[in-house]
Structure 1
Amino acid sequence: MKTVPAIPFDDYVFLHRRLYGLFRQRWSMSQTGLLKRVWKDSLQKSADEESEDLLAGLLFDVRTAVILIDEIGLKQAVVCAVLMFRPLMKGYITVDEIRKDFGEEVAAIIRGLKKVNDLTEKKSRVESENYIKLLLSIAEDIRVVFVLLAEQLQLMRDAKKSTPENRLDLSVESTYLYAPLAHRLGLYTIKSELEDLSLKYTDRETYDFIARKLNESKRSRDKYIEEFIHPLKERLDKTNLKYDIKGRTKSIHSINSKLKKQKIEFDNIYDLFAIRIILDSPSEMEKAHCWQVYSIVTDMYQPNPKRLKDWLSIPKSNGYESLHITVMGPDSKWVEVQIRTRRMDDIAERGLAAHWKYKGIKEESTLDDWLKSLRESLENRDVDIRDKLGDFKLDLYDEEIFVFTPKGDLFKLPKGASVLDFAFAIHSKLGATCVSGKVNGKNVPIKHMLKSGDQVEINTSSHQSPKQDWLNYVVTSKAKTRIRQLLKEEAGKQVDIAKEMLSRRMKNRKIDLDDPLLMQLIKKLKYKTVTDFYIDIAAEKLDVNWVIDRYLELGSKEFEHRDFLSATGADSFIIKPSSQEIKSSDELIIDQNLTGVDYRLAKCCNPIYGDEIFGFVSSQGIKIHRISCPNAHDLFSRFGYRILKARWSGKTSGTANYTSVLRIIGNDQLNIVANLMSIISKEDGVQMRSISIDSNDGLFQGNITVMLASTSMLEQLIKKLKAVKGIKSVSRLN
């Protein structure tokens, strides 16, 4: 008898316990029986085939199902689809059997999962067309996105056992696509964990630093939270309200973002936590009870009126409802207090998925509107793929403002939206003919940025039509998509007019039109596209007769010869100076297996041979960054489609080609700097480029720039410098 694959015993226990729990999720006896049969066959097959991968895959499916149940709050159809999908793909069960025993709903979800599975060979670069197809498949059935998020979260949790390259791929996808999706769907806990794990895998040093600081300050933080809530509890206990109260620490990722954005030290962050008050209230008393608690809190602690956030009166479009206030606590520290009911907290933790548990909630229509606009944006074939992705991400992450029509109808728009965005939000025709707006009774231009509470009226004209610069005035994907479509349609009309004009003039002059020669002329006139060329003719920026004359000149051999000489004359030929930044050797491999590609080493992090790296496609070409680069997270989240895999080839020239800056702190004593310079000068293969030292209060600190060949040489140098008497720390800058 063949042995079962070497999956840890604890995993087997987990597998069977969770399966037992999952199979009791209110399914019928026939459904439960089918689930057990399929899984029994799958497990037996994995043992018979000695397929550790299959059993590990089934275990992964169970963990994914547990996330869907425990952390997102889904049951039955979605969980069943996840558990049946792998056996289906292995041929242990058919779609017809699934439809017969579990219904069309489960079969529909499995079809969506199969679409996504067909794209599993997608590259980590989001610029591929496959990603657009992936996003469209997501938009077809919202339950598919919940499964994808659960799978991505489980992949990120398991990534610590994976390769650095795979961890980078997962981190880029999580930062660029899945964390924003979780944010848009209100799954803040999952969003935070994805972002924290991405930071852990891409900048472990920063992650460990913040985690260590949080752990060191935990005791004092807990003491302060208790000091804050104790008198509050006494007041709340005197009411008839049923409540829970607790402190919640900020995520490591959000703390890191604050450190970078505000450029402050960790000890200067005072809002490391928030106090959350959760009320058990009947639906008809939810708002009244929340405002009652607000009154109690602000009576005890001085509130900051500028930091009041009322999502009770107008919930976010992802269903989030809560009342946030910031008050002055003990020791003059600002503390954020969040007040919500149990239902609101469930929705805040589990997002839109939790709405299906409550009757009378109509937020699904808001979700449908978002998915509809998403599909419209992604299905527009006339838009560049990078514009599509940019619009998609913008719609995911935007904060909201609330504006009103003259009749009092409410519209939710992203922060930064203009009068033009508002016009397109109401109707595309209204947006296309918009000439100005009236905000709170005052006339304003179409680019006027709106604020929450504004009452907006749109002025139109039948003579108005979209302009190219309108794209600079809008932020919503609906407005951008429609403007691009209208501009494309207008450009098409102009091209037809210009083509007919050019053809008629050439026919009048009895000249035959040679398309290759015309294309050569268009290229010589430095037009990027044929459309741009014809648009300039239609706009009379190019005279048709002048174009025909240039066309005839280009067709003559004498002109071709003269043009060739002028283009290649020795007096105009300049040899470009070589740059030390550009390398085309085989030390580095970009993307899958490309070598000999020009690239630059980013100055923000100074990567060295041996570092974990990635490539970034910038306007100046490919730049190589370290995974731990301070700009890495921003590049992943904003420009994930420009990220390229990169790795060192395993061989190096051994020459000192790479720049590194060392930060050194030590006692300001006699000859210590001279000792450092002596060590560097004696180190084989290391060249010192510059040194900058400052001293203050008996300590010196400074930066030393060196040139060397690899990280191993750098580590060896740092170890020797740390051994110098009086040196307190030596670290690599950036």
Structure 2
Amino acid sequence: MPSIDVLADRLSTYLGKDQVNLVRRAYYYAEQAHDGQRRRSGEPYVTHPLAVANILADMHMDHQSLMAAMLHDVIEDTGIAKDALSAQFGETVAELVDGVSKLTQMNFETKAEAQAENFQKMAMAMARDIRVILVKLADRLHNMRTLEVLSSEKRRRIAKETLEIYAPIANRLGMHNVRVEFEDLGFRAMYPMRSERIFQAVKRARGNRKEIVVKIEQSLKHCLAVDGIEGDVSGRQKHLYGIYKKMRGKHRAFNEIMDVYAFRIVVDKVDTCYRVLGAVHNLYKPLPGRFKDYIAIPKANGYQSLHTTLFGMHGVPIEIQIRTREMEEMANNGIAAHWLYKSGENEKPRGSHARARQWVKGILELQQRAGNSLEFIESVKIDLFPDEVYVFTPKGRIMELPKGSTAVDFAYAVHTDVGNSCIACRINRRLAPLSEPLQSGSTVEIVSAPGARPNPAWLNFVVTGKARTHIRHALKLQRRSESISLGERLLNKVLNGFDSSLERISAEQVQAVLGEYKVEVVEDLLEDIGLGNRMAYVVARRLLASDNEQLPSPEGPLAIRGTEGLVLNYAKCCTPIPGDPIVGHLSAGKGMVVHLESCKNISEIRHNPEKCIQLSWAKDVTGEFNVELRVELEHQRGLIALLASSVNAADGNIEKISMDERDGRISIVHLVVSVHDRIHLARVIKKLRALTGVVRITRMRA
């Protein structure tokens, strides 16, 4: 392990003498603070912060990041307060250290919750200063390099978290070298046998391939020399985890992956990249559809390069990356390559730094909207997908989205309000389903309508964390407003039976009941009633019962319109439709579930006023309702088509169909049909009865 003197010599090549001395002072402070503490390997604890600072020095990070690296475990492991660090080394360094420190003082129910809360805290610190994540990545990298001293269970847990969170973050910040090392170390810890097998296979394959690699390299160099182009040509090594992911994800054999030869050509200027592309396309035939120009359209993490695949000698595929030296540095070290503080404090962030800031801003928005830390970390994981599609707005602006994104993801990427009010989309000027995955190069136009609301079904196909978080947030607000509305109707229904209403009850009495139920505002109480967590009958009794008299059950049913939304559900056991006699069962957390009066599932609680309420259908009820029909008929050709055309002729719609034979002559078909009410259902049944060979039609109920 290099000493502080060796590190100071390295730092003096790019930092001023005063800054190097500040890093030294931070080291001696950490050495004193961690005095007597040892790592699992038996080494003095201070060797870890020193190693983390060395990793940041490789990236040419500024002195404050290096000081934070030296001190990053002081708050967490030694009991020294943040204020003490602030007094010694300044507010900026103290904030960086605090951002990297875990939440050790809090107790969490599960390990997953603890990890999620810690990541959430770090994300908020990242938003203030993005160097927090760079110190954290360096800290995690040294921990991964020294994993072997831990138990196998702990090794696997840390490796899993690294592969799921930290490697994708390194990729998102364009830090290729860090990501590759994370992935290979994580792979070795998670799957030691698989890692060893692939390592040995790669070793053998590289030995066999040496000759052909040299030949291709020579022909590429000769090709550049003929055109008078100066550039460095080198073979590119595939890393173990990358090979493993391709074998698993693309179902390819090891030999198929190793049969592709990869090279990188690094030149001085951007226009030379395109000259090199022309030269190599003249040397070997390019593979159609395999050319990507990431110079004109950089990846979301700032990566720039030209990618092409060629048919080489003897038909072997050759993958070539062409880039400038600056792009090479950028590809390997990402955001750390041209750090903001190298070019002066006041210079505006540009390139990868601006992109990273934008990403962190998005992370903070997710954090503010997420329901809890686990939901937040799930959204972040979704947002860290490495592959992108590039699509255009109608005005020609390029939008970067994860692979598999849909028009709904696009709408939320444009603006939250556009996503919330989205009703349809046009892809390349044709109307398309909102769930259709977008392809690179498509032009996407969103059709929105004022007053439109997100559909819960969108959660089944959106892929971006932003879309998922905002849909959930909008649905929670929608559910709350619908619950309050239903709760108010239920409470007033009970109060009306006793010549009273919510408006006529005194504010003092309302406040007394709110205090008793430990809720702050009336809306919270009404929401609880609408969700079925509190009974309207019991709340009404508390509001009215100044003398604790027993209240009778209210008379008359509550009318439902079918538009109550998320807090009104129709029981799947008996599938009620308008016109059926119905009752409402108040189910905790779900709101009201509507059953048929005759449903056996609620027979025991049918007359309990605290659990069931008499309902009726309003005259203006709207919507479509599913009904299951059992049709017995003689077996004949084109049976399904006949049934479908009959239902369609009665303006019905078949949602689901299944068939089984009772014997060789009679078939039984189960249809789930959507209808408006009982009269509509009667029309559908009448049409089905008119078919030749129909023996019996039965409506299925519980």
TM-score bin (small chain): 0.5 to 0.7
**Paired AA for residue 184 in structure 2:** D
Matched, 1:327 2:310: yes
Mapping 1:286-325, distance limit 5 Å: 286=270, 288-325=271-308
**Paired AA for residue 130 in structure 1:** E
Tell me which residue corresponds to 1:76: 63
Of residues 390, 398, 401, the one that matches 2:389 is 401
- Seen in structure 2, the aligned counterparts of structure 1 residues 197 and 299 have a Cα distance that, compared at 3 Å, is same
Report deviation, 1:495: 0.7
**Residues 411 and 446 of structure 2 are in contact (CA less than 8 Å); yes or no, is this contact kept in structure 1?**
yes
Report deviation, 1:228: 0.4
Of residues 331, 335, 350, the one that matches 1:361 is 350
Tell me which residue corresponds to 2:607: 553
**Paired AA for residue 478 in structure 1:** K
Q: Cα deviations across residues 385-427 of structure 1 (Å, max 9, x unaligned)? A: 5443332111112421222222222221222222222222222
Report deviation, 1:127: 7.2
**Residues 373 and 477 of structure 1 are in contact (CA less than 8 Å); yes or no, is this contact kept in structure 2?**
no
Q: Cα deviations across residues 546-602 of structure 1 (Å, max 9, x unaligned)? A: 559977723699xxxxxxxxxxxxxxxxxxxxxxxxxxxxxxxxxxxxxxxxxxxxx
**Paired AA for residue 377 in structure 1:** L
Higher relative contact order structure (alpha carbons within 8 Å, sequence separation ≥ 6)? 1
Tell me which residue corresponds to 1:352: 335
Tell me which residue corresponds to 1:504: 492
Q: Secondary structure at the match of 1:349?
A: helix
- Seen in structure 2, the aligned counterparts of structure 1 residues 40 and 221 have a Cα distance that, compared at 3 Å, is same
**Paired AA for residue 94 in structure 2:** A
Report deviation, 1:27: 4.9
Report deviation, 1:493: 1.4
Of residues 96, 106, 120, the one that matches 1:133 is 120
Report deviation, 1:441: 2.2
- Seen in structure 2, the aligned counterparts of structure 1 residues 85 and 22 have a Cα distance that, compared at 3 Å, is farther
**Residues 75 and 101 of structure 2 are in contact (CA less than 8 Å); yes or no, is this contact kept in structure 1?**
no
**Paired AA for residue 267 in structure 1:** N
Q: Distance in 1 between matches of 2:13 and 2:87?
A: 19
In structure 1, list runs of 5 or more residues that go unmatched: 1-10, 523-530, 558-734
- Seen in structure 2, the aligned counterparts of structure 1 residues 39 and 299 have a Cα distance that, compared at 3 Å, is same
- Seen in structure 2, the aligned counterparts of structure 1 residues 455 and 378 have a Cα distance that, compared at 3 Å, is same
TM-score, reference length from structure 2 = 0.67
Tell me which residue corresponds to 2:689: none
Q: Secondary structure at the match of 1:338?
A: strand
Report deviation, 1:534: 4.0
Matched, 1:21 2:9: yes
Matched, 1:232 2:265: no
Tell me which residue corresponds to 1:624: none
Percentage identity across paired residues of the two chains: 28
Q: Cα deviations across residues 159-208 of structure 1 (Å, max 9, x unaligned)? A: 12322122112111112211111121112222222222222122222111
**Residues 328 and 335 of structure 1 are in contact (CA less than 8 Å); yes or no, is this contact kept in structure 2?**
yes
Of residues 231, 243, 247, the one that matches 2:235 is 247
Tell me which residue corresponds to 2:171: 183
**Residues 87 and 93 of structure 1 are in contact (CA less than 8 Å); yes or no, is this contact kept in structure 2?**
yes
Q: Distance in 2 between matches of 1:254 and 1:432?
A: 38
Q: Secondary structure at the match of 1:278?
A: strand
Q: Distance in 1 between matches of 2:364 and 2:31?
A: 39
Of residues 106, 116, 124, the one that matches 2:93 is 106
TM-score, reference length from structure 1 = 0.64
Tell me which residue corresponds to 2:452: 464
Report deviation, 1:238: 3.5
Q: Distance in 1 between matches of 2:486 and 2:369?
A: 26
Tell me which residue corresponds to 1:485: 473
Q: Distance in 2 between matches of 1:337 and 1:267?
A: 19
**Paired AA for residue 448 in structure 2:** T
Q: Tell me how large the CA RMSD over aligned residues is.
A: 3.9
Q: Secondary structure at the match of 1:306?
A: coil
Q: Distance in 1 between matches of 2:82 and 2:122?
A: 24
Q: Which has the larger radius of gyration?
A: 2
Q: Secondary structure at the match of 1:397?
A: coil
Q: Secondary structure at the match of 1:457?
A: strand
Q: Distance in 1 between matches of 2:272 and 2:98?
A: 45
Tell me which residue corresponds to 1:165: 153
**Paired AA for residue 447 in structure 2:** N
Matched, 1:148 2:136: yes
Of residues 357, 376, 386, the one that matches 2:365 is 376
**Paired AA for residue 337 in structure 2:** A
Q: Distance in 2 between matches of 1:27 and 1:16?
A: 15
Q: Distance in 2 between matches of 1:415 and 1:403?
A: 11
Tell me which residue corresponds to 1:705: none
Mapping 1:409-420, distance limit 5 Å: 409-420=397-408
- Seen in structure 2, the aligned counterparts of structure 1 residues 238 and 125 have a Cα distance that, compared at 3 Å, is same
**Residues 237 and 262 of structure 2 are in contact (CA less than 8 Å); yes or no, is this contact kept in structure 1?**
yes
Tell me which residue corresponds to 1:629: none
Q: Secondary structure at the match of 2:396?
A: coil
Tell me which residue corresponds to 1:7: none
Q: Secondary structure at the match of 1:307?
A: coil
Q: Distance in 2 between matches of 1:132 and 1:52?
A: 23
Count of aligned pairs between the two proteins = 529
In structure 2, list runs of 5 or more residues that go unmatched: 501-512, 518-527, 537-563, 571-575, 587-596, 612-702
Tell me which residue corresponds to 2:200: 212
Q: Distance in 2 between matches of 1:170 and 1:375?
A: 24
